[in-house]
Structures are given as C-alpha cells and as structure tokens.
C-alpha cells in the first residue's frame, strides 16, 4: 500500500502548482482584454471643461503622451501611435463636453467654409496612413496634386484671409465629408455646431450660450494639445513644427519612408509653410 502515500503526495503537489499558476495568471494578465490594445486616452477624465485650466491640462497630457512613445524604440509607427492616442483623447474630451450640453460630437467634416488647417507631423502621418490603406495610388496622386496647388496659393495668404480664398481642404469631398475622418487633425474635431439650435437655425439665448461654450471647449482643447504636442516633440529631438495642411500633406505623400525618416530626427517638412 506504499503507492497510496505517493499518489497523495503527487496530487498535493499538483494542487499547489495549479494554485501558484492561477495566482501568476491573475497578476500577469490583470487588465488583459483578449489581446485588444486600448489607447491610454480611452479613459481620460477631464478636471475642467473650460478656460485656461482645460488648455493647461491638455498641454500636459500631450507632452506626457509624446514622451512615453518617444522613449520607446522609434519607427514609422511612432508618429502614428502618438497621433492615435491624442486623437482618441480629444474625442473623449469632446464626448464629455457633449454630454454636459446635451449635444453630440460632429459626425461629418465641420469645415463649412475654407479655413487654414494646422497640423503637426504625427497628425499628417496618421492621415497619409489612412489614405494609403483605403485609396488606390491614382487617387492618392490626385489628392497630392490638389494639395500642391492649394499650398502654392496658401503661401501668400494669411490665416484670417482663408475664408475668402476658396482654398478648400484637399480631403473634403463635394458632399462635405472627410476622406480621412477617423484620422482628421485635432483642430477638426468639434462638437456639433447646429445641435443647440432648432431646425430653422435660430437659437434662444441659453442655446447661443451653450453653442459658444462648445466652441470654446474645442478651441482650448486644440490649442492646449497643439502646444503640448509641439513641446513634447521638441524635448524628444523631433520636428516640432506646426504646418499648413496642404503643404505638409503634399510633402508626406511624395516622400518615400517619410514617417521612418521623421522618427530618426530628419526634417522631412523643412520646406513646408509653417502655420
């Protein structure tokens, strides 16, 4: 009957090993969601939704995002990771603001009239990556030609003069949609401007106040993120320029391995117009 103690000992060891394995898994895979990687910005909670506090908070968050990604081995994916996280964060902030004013985040291109659109390198590379995924080379060439033509005209135009120039965004379709809406610049992420008003386009005083507040949230968010993004890129030794969209987009589409070269510190947009 010597085999009974041996079996009991073996079972005891198996139970102990299984317990340790379960403990290890619970620690090692805590928060794991089946392999789905969520941007850190998905859980952003904003301490303030107006004024200088929002702008300062947005700038600090953007700097931290850039620093975290810049510390990792850099590649063509680096600017895409930065842009993706900040754009998701901008959406999260706008969704919180929308709930407060019983509105919604804009679902289509908000550029109802021509205006200067400013972008940083990560935003441009996110746009070009989406274009290259979804459109054939012939269409990319057409978009680039439009951007080149627009950029030439834009060089002699001040930002406040854009509405009178007729220089439309090269990504805007005839029906008002954006070709790269998921990767649109942070400045193009807005709250629904018509939501606080009635169907006739007229607003009551309270609704007008709500609409102005919504515009202010978007502006402070964009300015803060843009400042923090540029500062973070500068501290990481990367091109921190803020460029006019047409010029930067035309350059990115025409430059082989542009994202990789930028990640190595090359000034890919050196000849582009700064905004």
Cβ neighbours of residue 217 closer than 8 Å, sequence gap 6 or more: 49, 50, 54, 93, 94, 97, 191
Domains held by the chain: number = 1
Reading the chain (275 residues) residue by residue, the pLDDT tens digits are 555 555 555 555 555 445 444 433 333 323 222 333 344 444 566 666 667 888 898 999 999 999 999 999 999 999 999 999 999 988 888 888 888 777 778 887 766 678 889 999 999 999 999 999 999 999 999 999 999 999 999 988 888 888 888 888 999 988 888 999 999 999 898 877 655 443 444 444 444 444 445 567 888 889 999 999 999 999 999 999 999 999 999 999 999 999 999 999 999 999 998 88
- Is residue 20 in some structural domain? no
Tokens of 145: 């030609």
State how far the alpha carbon of 91 is from the alpha carbons of 23, 39, 257, 262, in Å: 37, 12, 29, 26
- Is residue 221 in some structural domain? yes
- Is residue 146 in some structural domain? yes
- Is residue 163 in some structural domain? yes
Q: What pLDDT, in 10s, does the model give residues 23-63?
A: 333 333 232 223 333 444 445 666 666 678 888 989 999 99
Other CB atoms closer than 10 Å to residue 7's CB: what's the count?
9
- Is residue 156 in some structural domain? yes
3-class state of residue 158 by DSSP: coil
Give the residue carrying structure tokens 């006019």: 244
Q: Are 188 and 176 in contact (CB under 8 A)?
A: no
Tokens of 205: 């005083």
- Distance from C-alpha of 204 to C-alpha of 192, rounded to nearest angstrom: 17
Q: What pLDDT, in 10s, does the model give residues 87-102?
A: 998 888 888 888 877 7
- Is residue 60 in some structural domain? yes
- Is residue 119 in some structural domain? yes
- Is residue 195 in some structural domain? yes
Tokens of 192: 């629904």
Overall pTM surpassing 0.85 (yes/no): no
DSSP 112: S
Domain around 254: 46-263
Q: What are phi and psi of 204, to 5 degrees?
A: -80, 170
């Amino acid at each position: 009957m010597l085999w009974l103690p041996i079996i009991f000992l073996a079972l005891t060891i198996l139970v102990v090993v299984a317990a340790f394995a379960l403990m290890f898994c619970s620690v090692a895979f805590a928060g794991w969601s089946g392999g789905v990687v969520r941007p850190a910005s998905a859980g952003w909670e904003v301490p303030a939704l107006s004024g200088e506090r929002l702008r300062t908070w947005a700038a600090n968050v953007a700097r931290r995002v850039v620093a975290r990604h810049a510390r990792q081995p850099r590649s063509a994916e680096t600017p895409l990771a930065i842009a993706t996280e900040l754009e998701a964060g901008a959406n999260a902030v706008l969704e919180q603001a929308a709930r407060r004013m019983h509105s919604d985040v804009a679902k289509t291109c908000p550029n109802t009239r021509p205006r200067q659109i400013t972008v940083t390198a990560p935003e441009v590379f996110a746009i070009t990556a989406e274009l290259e995924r979804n459109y054939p080379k012939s269409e990319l060439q057409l978009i680039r030609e439009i951007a080149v033509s627009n950029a030439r005209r834009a060089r002699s135009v001040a930002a406040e003069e854009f509405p009178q120039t007729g220089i439309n965004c090269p990504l805007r379709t005839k029906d008002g949609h954006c070709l790269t809406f998921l990767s649109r610049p942070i400045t193009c992420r807005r709250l629904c401007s018509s939501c606080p008003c009635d169907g006739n386009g007229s607003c009551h005083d309270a609704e007008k106040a709500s609409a102005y507040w919504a515009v202010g949230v978007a502006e402070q968010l964009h300015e803060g993120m843009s400042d923090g993004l540029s500062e973070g890129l500068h501290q990481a030794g990367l091109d921190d320029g803020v460029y006019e969209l047409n010029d930067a987009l035309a350059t990115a589409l025409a430059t082989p391995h542009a994202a990789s070269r930028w990640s190595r510190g090359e000034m890919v947009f050196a000849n582009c117009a700064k905004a």
